[in-house]
Amino acid sequence: MDLKQFTLGTLVETKKPHPCGGNKWEIVRTGADFKIRCLTCGRIVMLTPDELKKRVRRIAEAKP
């Protein structure tokens, strides 16, 4: 996956579920690091670009 696909507001699905049971996340910050927010519980996690590419299974919904 290309990092240009990960823009603000994009919804992504991770390979492993979060401890709350959700696996859908929204990208809330981009740049040197990425912040993603769990859509089930609201937890925010910061990831490096390499970690994000490794954890994402697919892009659930792309925002323009």
pLDDT by residue (tens digit) across 2-37?
788 889 999 999 999 999 999 999 999 999 999 999
Write out pLDDT tens, residues 29-53: 999 999 999 999 999 999 999 999 9
Helix (H, G, I), strand (E, B) or coil at 16: coil
Nearest Cα residue to 43 out of 60, 62, 63, 20: 20
Instruction: Report the pLDDT value the prediction gives residue 61, as an integer from 0 to 100.
Output: 83
Give residue limits of the domains in the chain. Answer: 3-61
C-alpha pair distances (Å), 37 with each of 2, 18, 19, 60: 20, 11, 13, 14
The yes/no answer on whether domain 3-61 falls in CATH 2.60.40 is no
The C-alpha atoms of residue 36 and residue 23 are separated, in whole angstroms, by 11
CB 47, CB 37: distance < 8 Å = no
